[in-house]
């Protein structure tokens, strides 16, 4: 099956093409076809995953796309454990989201198009995962960006959605630019794009000294720029919360589970680069933890359910990035670290429970038609399946034993071993995560309904929406068990970098993280369920902090001032310059052209046309004389014919005679007399008529 794994990404593309060209008019068929294709992909992915278990070395296949003398671009696939895991994650969440969308998007006028876009996205994402070189991953990287743009702006008639998709596209593009430059550096200094070749040469080159460490550091940081944009890391995280304007299934699939994880995947995939440069790895780790803390503090005070989840996503992605960065740092310095395993493991678990959270949130929104959690409340009783799924996911993300989030978060905390600042901040984020997630749960599902009308209107979603929730809930519980520290061949010894890592149960760490998580939940319980601590008083006491958090640290405003305003001012200046100088030049050229054209027109009118008209005038006058010959009298015509033929005969008479009597001069005299007598014929008509009236 591994040999055919390229089909995994081509099947959704096939669905996209079929829907766009043939099935667009039949909504149910479109959705069914799309779901069928992703289910086949899912089955294949699972089979590929199982086949990968037994394989020692990665499977790679491809063919040469562009063959340059000293550079080769190829198109190919690389199946290693990381790819296999990502394939399963993407197809699982993708299938769940597509099934869920049948219910969620029901009645939307662009129903078929939605599934076409989803299929296109899945093609791009799976292609990104399957790619075996940086060239291909960049193409698919841009393709997922495009589909993300299309899907955020799916309800493009809404201005906020249209703005959000623009913002997302442009912001990620900043990161992509860095990524592209990084690729150039790789291409120039390393000479290939193929992953395994690049990594091998980097390791060799640094060891042998022909590759400067600074080059590797630069390349790694620039590649990381792409991840910063795609995974919404500080300082490019601002687009992800706005991207929540898209349909909720899109948020679940693209902006929680898969596409934003592509950045993490990229860092994991390029781990050899980072492992070769401690500086770059530290940059990655610092960016990760800053993002994580920042997003967590913002999430605490938000009211919009999807935005809370979005900041939670940013925070968790920061977690993973940090873990990977610390792993790279430790490896570069020769230490062992669980960071790589922790990051990828958390990536998988996060995909499941965050996808579940979004889908459940979508179900809630579907029921109450609002995003504001303070207009909800007590929904658990009315929406049992959705509510319990949401609670399971919340427990999982908070890191409660024995749900999947517990195991991966534990490993992330473990990977900060030896970096006390990171460890403290990581635990702080874990605490805040537990707090804001359960704040969300308590406000939404418990207590008394705050908006009775919305509460009455609420209802459980249809089965097509709840079954994916249940499936994902099961995964949220169980997926982490593949990485239990007691397993001898668990996740850590499957997807690894360098040499296999064997985790061991660290009871102290487990205890600490459990305490942190539980205390976060308890605080949320006290503040938002029990009411023994007033949220308002807390907000008043930490007024500055609350304001900062509530306004998202003023990032949008800061960007507006330091980036947008100057750019707009520059743009206005450019516009003025354009209008005054460029247009002036252009208009001057046009004015000169017109002047020149006027001169030419004058010349044309008086000289050229004069010549032409003059020729016509000459012909007219000649014809005025000539027409007198046309008298209408047959006799005159006959005379003319005779005169001409006789004259010509006389002219040529000396051919026969040798010229005896008609000498040259005599002939010319004769011709002259004949011509004169013919012209004498041209007397005005009236004279002749007077004569003939006799």
Partner 1 sequence: MVESNVGPVFYILAFLIIASAVMVVSLKNIFHCALALVMCLFSVAGIYILLNAEFLAAAQVLIYVGAVAVLMIFAIMLTTNLASRNIKQVTENALVSVFICALFCLGTIFLLWATPAKIWRYATESLPVDNTAIIGKYLMTEFVLPFEVVSLLLMAAMIGAIVLARKERS
Partner 2 sequence: MLPYLALAAVLFSAGLFGVLTRRNTLGILMSLELMFNAANINFVTFNKFISPDNMIGQMFAIFVVVVAAAEAVVGMAIVLLIYRNWQGVNVDNMRIMKW
User: Which of 57, 68, 508, 656 lies at the binding interface for partner 1 (CB under 8 A)?
Assistant: 656
Residue 536 CB partners (closer than 8 Å, separation 6+): none
The binder of 683, among partner 2, partner 1, none, by C-beta within 5 to 8 A per type, is partner 1
Structure tokens at 534: 């007033």
Residues 248 and 241 sit within 8 Å (Cβ to Cβ): no
Residues 223 and 255 sit within 8 Å (Cβ to Cβ): no
Per-residue HEC secondary structure of 364-412 comes to HHHHHCCCEHHHCCCCCCCCHHHHHHHHHHHHHHHCCCCCHHHHHHHHH
User: Which of 630, 657, 660, 686 lies at the binding interface for partner 2 (CB under 8 A)?
Assistant: 630
Chain positions 623 to 652 lying near partner 1, rule: CB under 8 A, are 633, 635-636, 639, 642-643, 646-647, 649-650
The binder of 686, among partner 2, partner 1, none, by C-beta within 5 to 8 A per type, is none
Find residue 62's DSSP bridge partners.
76
Specify the DSSP element, H or E, that contains 61. strand 59-68
In the complex, the smallest distance separating the C-beta of residue 665 from partner 1, rounded to whole angstroms, is: 16
Which residue from 549, 307, 318, 349 is spatially nearest to 426, judged by alpha carbons? Answer: 318
Q: Which is nearer to partner 1, 457 or 688 (by Cβ)?
A: 688
Residues 294 and 319 sit within 8 Å (Cβ to Cβ): no
Region binding partner 1 by CB under 8 A among candidate stretches 515-523, 570-578, 581-589, 675-683: 675-683
Please give the Cα distance from 258 to 355 (Å, whole number): 9
The binder of 673, among partner 2, partner 1, none, by C-beta within 5 to 8 A per type, is partner 1
Q: Binding of partner 2 at residue 649 (CB under 8 A)? A: no
Q: Binding of partner 2 at residue 634 (CB under 8 A)? A: yes
The binder of 70, among partner 1, partner 2, none, by C-beta within 5 to 8 A per type, is none
Q: Which is nearer to partner 2, 488 or 649 (by Cβ)?
A: 649
The binder of 630, among partner 2, partner 1, none, by C-beta within 5 to 8 A per type, is partner 2
CA 575 to chain centre: 29
Residues 143 and 151 sit within 8 Å (Cβ to Cβ): no
In order of 325, 339, 408, 591, the CA distances from 283 in angstroms are 7, 15, 22, 58
The binder of 632, among partner 2, partner 1, none, by C-beta within 5 to 8 A per type, is partner 2
Q: Is 505 exposed, middle or buried (0-12, 13-18, 19+ CB in 10 A)?
A: exposed
Cβ atoms within 10 A of the Cβ of 2, count? 16
Reply yes or no: is the peptide bond before residue 402 cis, omega within 30 of 0: yes
In the complex, the smallest distance separating the C-beta of residue 630 from partner 1, rounded to whole angstroms, is: 15
Q: Is 198 exposed, middle or buried (0-12, 13-18, 19+ CB in 10 A)?
A: buried
DSSP string computed for 624-678: HHHGGG--S-HHHHHHHHHHHHHHHHHHTHHHHH-SSSS-HHHHHHHHHHHHHHH
User: Which of 63, 660, 665, 684 lies at the binding interface for partner 1 (CB under 8 A)?
Assistant: 660
Reply yes or no: is the peptide bond before residue 328 cis, omega within 30 of 0: no
Q: Which is nearer to partner 2, 70 or 660 (by Cβ)?
A: 660
The binder of 677, among partner 1, partner 2, none, by C-beta within 5 to 8 A per type, is partner 1
In the complex, the smallest distance separating the C-beta of residue 678 from partner 2, rounded to whole angstroms, is: 13
The binder of 661, among partner 1, partner 2, none, by C-beta within 5 to 8 A per type, is partner 1
In the complex, the smallest distance separating the C-beta of residue 676 from partner 1, rounded to whole angstroms, is: 9
In the complex, the smallest distance separating the C-beta of residue 661 from partner 2, rounded to whole angstroms, is: 16
Q: Which is nearer to partner 2, 544 or 630 (by Cβ)?
A: 630
Please give the Cα distance from 80 to 78 (Å, whole number): 6
Q: Which is nearer to partner 1, 544 or 680 (by Cβ)?
A: 680
The binder of 388, among partner 1, partner 2, none, by C-beta within 5 to 8 A per type, is none
Q: Binding of partner 2 at residue 660 (CB under 8 A)? A: no
In the complex, the smallest distance separating the C-beta of residue 680 from partner 1, rounded to whole angstroms, is: 7
In the complex, the smallest distance separating the C-beta of residue 633 from partner 1, rounded to whole angstroms, is: 8
Q: Which is nearer to partner 1, 200 or 631 (by Cβ)?
A: 631
User: Which of 574, 612, 625, 642 lies at the binding interface for partner 2 (CB under 8 A)?
Assistant: 642
Furthest-apart CA atoms within the chain: distance in Å: 150
**Residues interacting with partner 2, by CB under 8 A?**
630-635, 637-639, 642, 692
């Amino acid at each position: 099956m591994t040999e055919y794994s390229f089909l995994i990404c081509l099947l959704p593309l096939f669905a996209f093409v079929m829907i766009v060209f043939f099935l667009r008019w039949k909504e149910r068929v479109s959705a069914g076809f799309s779901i069928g294709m992703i289910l086949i992909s899912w089955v294949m992915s699972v089979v590929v995953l199982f086949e990968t278990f037994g394989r020692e070395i990665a499977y790679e296949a491809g063919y040469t796309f562009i063959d340059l003398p000293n550079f080769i671009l190829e198109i190919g696939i690389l199946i290693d454990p990381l790819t296999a895991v990502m394939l399963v994650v993407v197809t699982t969440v993708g299938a769940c989201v597509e099934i869920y969308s049948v219910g969620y998007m029901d009645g939307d006028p662009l129903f078929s198009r939605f599934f076409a876009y989803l299929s296109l996205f899945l093609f791009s994402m799976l292609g990104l995962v399957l790619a075996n070189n940086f060239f291909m991953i960049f193409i698919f990287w841009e393709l997922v960006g495009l589909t993300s743009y299309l899907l955020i702006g799916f309800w493009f008639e809404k201005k906020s959605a249209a703005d959000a998709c623009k913002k997302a596209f442009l912001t990620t593009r900043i990161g992509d630019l860095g990524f592209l430059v990084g690729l150039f550096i790789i291409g120039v200094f390393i000479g290939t794009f193929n992953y395994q070749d690049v990594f091998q040469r980097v390791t060799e080159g640094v060891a042998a000294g022909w590759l400067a460490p600074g080059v590797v550091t630069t390349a790694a940081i620039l590649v990381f720029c792409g991840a910063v944009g795609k995974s919404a890391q500080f300082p490019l995280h601002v687009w992800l919360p706005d991207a929540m304007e898209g349909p909720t299934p899109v948020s679940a699939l693209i902006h929680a589970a898969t596409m934003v994880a592509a950045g993490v995947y990229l860092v994991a995939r390029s781990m050899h680069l980072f492992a070769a440069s401690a500086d770059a790895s530290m940059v990655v780790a610092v960016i990760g933890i800053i993002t994580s803390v920042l997003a967590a503090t913002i999430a605490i005070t938000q009211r919009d359910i999807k935005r809370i989840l979005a900041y939670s996503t940013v925070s968790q992605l920061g977690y993973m990035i940090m873990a990977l960065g610390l792993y790279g740092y430790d490896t570069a310095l020769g230490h062992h670290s669980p960071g790589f395993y922790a990051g990828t493991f958390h990536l998988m678990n996060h995909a499941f429970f965050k996808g579940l959270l979004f889908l459940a949130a979508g179900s809630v929104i579907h029921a109450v038609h609002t995003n504001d959690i303070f207009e909800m409340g007590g929904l658990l009783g009315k929406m049992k399946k959705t509510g319990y799924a949401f609670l399971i996911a919340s427990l999982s993300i908070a890191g409660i034993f024995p749900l999947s989030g517990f195991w991966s978060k534990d490993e992330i905390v473990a990977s900060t071993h030896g970096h006390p600042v990171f460890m403290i901040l990581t635990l702080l984020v874990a605490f805040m995560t537990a707090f804001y997630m359960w704040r969300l749960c308590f406000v939404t599902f418990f207590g008394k309904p705050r908006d009775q009308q919305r509460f009455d209107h609420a209802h459980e979603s249809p089965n097509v929406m709840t079954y994916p929730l249940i499936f994902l809930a099961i995964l949220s519980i169980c997926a982490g068990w593949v990485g239990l520290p007691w397993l001898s061949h668990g996740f850590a010894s499957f997807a690894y970098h360098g040499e296999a890592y064997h985790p061991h149960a660290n009871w102290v760490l487990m205890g600490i993280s459990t305490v942190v998580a539980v205390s976060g939940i308890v605080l949320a319980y006290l503040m938002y369920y029990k009411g023994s601590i007033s949220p308002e008083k807390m907000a008043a006491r930490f007024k500055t902090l609350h304001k900062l958090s509530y306004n998202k640290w003023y990032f949008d405003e800061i960007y507006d001032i330091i980036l947008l305003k100057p750019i707009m001012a520059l743009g206005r200046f450019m516009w003025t310059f354009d209008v005054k100088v460029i247009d002036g030049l252009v208009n001057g050229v046009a004015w000169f052209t017109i002047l020149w054209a006027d001169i030419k027109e004058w010349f044309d009118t008086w000289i050229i046309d004069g010549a032409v008209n003059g020729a016509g005038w000459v012909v007219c006058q000649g014809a005025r004389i000539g027409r007198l010959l046309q008298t209408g009298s047959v006799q005159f015509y006959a005379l003319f014919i005779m005169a001409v033929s006789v004259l010509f005969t006389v002219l040529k008479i000396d051919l026969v005679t040798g010229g005896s009597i008609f000498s040259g001069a005599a002939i010319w005299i004769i011709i002259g007399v004949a011509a004169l007598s013919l012209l004498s014929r041209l007397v005005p008509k009236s004279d002749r008529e007077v004569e003939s009236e006799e």
